[in-house]
A and B are shown apart, each in its own frame.
Chain A
Amino acid sequence: MKKIITALLSIAALNSVSVTADTLDDVADRGTLRCGVVLDFPPIGYRDANNEPAGFDVDYCNDLAKSLEVDVQIMPLTWSERLPVIATGRADVVFGGTSDSLARARTVGFSIPYAIYYSQGVVNSKSNITSIDDIRGKRVAAALGTLPEQEWLKIAAKWGEENLYQSYQSENEVFLAVAQGKADIGLTTNTAIKPITQQYANLEAGPRMPWVADYTSIVGKRQDVTWLNYLNLFVTHQVRSGRYQELWGKYVGGDAPDLRIPGVMY
């Protein structure tokens, strides 16, 4: 009887171990990191000439897997899939230019910022938009659910020009809309300007938007503090080792932006 009780207790203990296991343990046991990336965001995430995932975020996935000594499985995502893959456990982590808003932080866990972007417009060369004031009365487009959209709608409401705003499912459609003349300016991030203006002859860089910088973080499960701690340390190591600057220089060019706000301990 004593042996049976001991055996049952052992099984219960094993079960409790598996229940409390976190993503860090799961990834190590599985031997594969399931890493979600948005490939609609060149040069941060895109498909190269061989149709393979490439970009800053993809290299960050590879680096994270390397730090964990596991293989990597790149999961291409749309903007709206970034949460569901985490909530349903289909991905361990998402690198996807995800702005660390407080509203979102009630749903998913964010690491410390790993990249910073500024919002900028891509304009149709016929639009004559060179400053933020030139946008009055013009048609504006942005990708649905992005920070530029949310920030622009505040300005549009102030100007009474919400009816001139158009939202699209992806940034590709935003740029296509501007190139075709459906919209006068498309809102995106500063990093996307160069590849897009190279792709379309009638598009050029527009004005920088007046709102604050877009701090983006790695996304993991909100409840999984151990995993988020690991991701924080990973970001710190990327900066400390010079890898952050190396990849930023490779994909975006120039000096990588400082990830800390002066005077703030994140």
Chain B
Amino acid sequence: MFDYNFHWRPVLKSLPDLIQAGLVTLEIASLAMFLGVVIGLCLALMRMNMTGPLKWFAVTWIEIARNTPALFQLFFFGFGLGAFGINLSPFVIILTGLSFNCAGYLAENFRGGFQAIPVMQINSARCLGMNSWQAYTRIVIPQVLRIVYYPITNQMVWAVLMSSLGMLIGFKELSGETQFFASKTFRVFEYFAVAAVIYYVIVKIVLGASRLLAMRLFRY
């Protein structure tokens, strides 16, 4: 039997702190995504075009990032490296962990995007006198970005939600702040309900902003 009376007033009093923590969540997710896109693009190119150690490096990264839990990856950057005397701050651990994971997933999205571009287009660009760099940066990558735009948006939503793992390694984002208040007052249900609403609003803002950006980028 559920025997609990809801008290909303203390939660509403803490709302400014929770919103501030929500901004930290958005900030860390945005930074992780920026790094994830840059690294993911590099990994995809290394996997497709390189041979030897570089290809091996990219494949290993992608395989680990996609096939092990994000929590384990975060613990590895936190306590795993700590065992070898490499101590990163909680901010760097969560940023490294999320970027590592996002880069792995995005690399495969980019690879799919590259494979969707007919090779003929590169050949045509080369025939027009473009070198390989120009063919990629002016012909291929703009089209790839258009193909992978929505998967990237999806990954950004994932990054926002998975940043909640930060509280496990001492990084105080929205989930950590929520648990701090909930433990102080034992008003667990109210605090987590409000946090869920804040997460929902953040995701809706991210999706809305990405749609506006898409309308601007894909006008033609």
Taking a contact as CB atoms under 8 Å apart, the answer to whether B184 and A167 are in contact is: no
Query: Distance in Å from the Cβ of A248 to the closest Cβ of chain B?
Result: 26
Once bound together, how far apart are the Cα atoms of A82 and B184, in whole Å? 12
Taking a contact as CB atoms under 8 Å apart, the answer to whether B87 and A182 are in contact is: yes
27 A-B pairs with CB atoms under 8 Å apart are A82-B186, A87-B3, A89-B3, A101-B184, A103-B186, A104-B184, A104-B185, A104-B186, A106-B185, A107-B185, A107-B186, A108-B186, A141-B170, A144-B176, A144-B180, A145-B180, A145-B183, A146-B183, A166-B170, A168-B170, A169-B167, A173-B168, A176-B82, A177-B82, A177-B170, A180-B82, A181-B82
Query: Distance in Å from the Cβ of A185 to the closest Cβ of chain B?
Result: 14
Once bound together, how far apart are the Cα atoms of A139 and B13, in whole Å? 29
Taking a contact as CB atoms under 8 Å apart, the answer to whether B183 and A79 are in contact is: yes
List 7 other contacts, CB 8 Å, given A106-B7, A107-B187, A176-B79.
A88-B4, A144-B180, A145-B183, A173-B79, A177-B82, A181-B82, A181-B87
B2 touches which one: A89, A180, A182 (CB < 8 A)? Answer: A89
Q: Which 4 A-B pairs have the closest CB atoms?
A: A145-B183, A180-B82, A166-B170, A107-B186
Known contacts A80-B182, A167-B172, A180-B83; is A144 also within 8 Å of B167 by CB? yes
Closest to B187 in A: A107
Once bound together, how far apart are the Cα atoms of A146 and B183, in whole Å? 7
Does chain B have a CB within 8 A of A84? yes
* Residues of A within 8 A of B (CB-CB), count: 32
B184 touches which one: A87, A88, A145, A181 (CB < 8 A)? Answer: A145
Taking a contact as CB atoms under 8 Å apart, the answer to whether B180 and A166 are in contact is: no
* Residues of B within 8 A of A (CB-CB), count: 28
Taking a contact as CB atoms under 8 Å apart, the answer to whether B183 and A166 are in contact is: no
Query: Distance in Å from the Cβ of A98 to the closest Cβ of chain B?
Result: 9
Query: Which of chain B's residues 17-71 have a Cβ closer than 8 Å to chain A?
Result: none
Does chain B have a CB within 8 A of A223? yes
Interface positions of A (Cβ within 8 A of B)? 79-80, 82-84, 87-89, 101, 103-104, 106-108, 141, 144-146, 149-150, 166-169, 173, 176-177, 180-182, 221, 223
Query: Distance in Å from the Cβ of B97 to the closest Cβ of chain A?
Result: 15
Query: Distance in Å from the Cβ of B156 to the closest Cβ of chain A?
Result: 26
CB-CB under 8 A from A108, the residues of chain B are 186
A103 touches which one: B1, B83, B169, B185 (CB < 8 A)? Answer: B185
Query: Distance in Å from the Cβ of A83 to the closest Cβ of chain B?
Result: 4
Query: Distance in Å from the Cβ of A191 to the closest Cβ of chain B?
Result: 20
Taking a contact as CB atoms under 8 Å apart, the answer to whether A168 and B179 are in contact is: no
Taking a contact as CB atoms under 8 Å apart, the answer to whether A145 and B90 are in contact is: no
Once bound together, how far apart are the Cα atoms of A257 and B179, in whole Å? 31
CB-CB under 8 A from A106, the residues of chain B are 7, 185
Query: Distance in Å from the Cβ of A61 to the closest Cβ of chain B?
Result: 21
Once bound together, how far apart are the Cα atoms of A195 and B184, in whole Å? 27
Taking a contact as CB atoms under 8 Å apart, the answer to whether A80 and B183 are in contact is: yes
Closest to A101 in B: B184
CB-CB under 8 A from B2, the residues of chain A are 87-89
Known contacts A80-B179, A89-B3, A167-B172; is A182 also within 8 Å of B185 by CB? no
Once bound together, how far apart are the Cα atoms of A84 and B3, in whole Å? 10
CB-CB under 8 A from B87, the residues of chain A are 180-182
A166 touches which one: B82, B90, B188 (CB < 8 A)? Answer: B90
Query: Distance in Å from the Cβ of A141 to the closest Cβ of chain B?
Result: 7
Once bound together, how far apart are the Cα atoms of A145 and B186, in whole Å? 10
Does chain A have a CB within 8 A of B129? no
Known contacts A145-B182, A146-B183, A182-B82; is A169 also within 8 Å of B3 by CB? no
Closest to B168 in A: A169
Known contacts A87-B3, A104-B185, A181-B87; is A167 also within 8 Å of B82 by CB? no
Taking a contact as CB atoms under 8 Å apart, the answer to whether A223 and B186 are in contact is: no
CB-CB under 8 A from B3, the residues of chain A are 87, 89, 221, 223
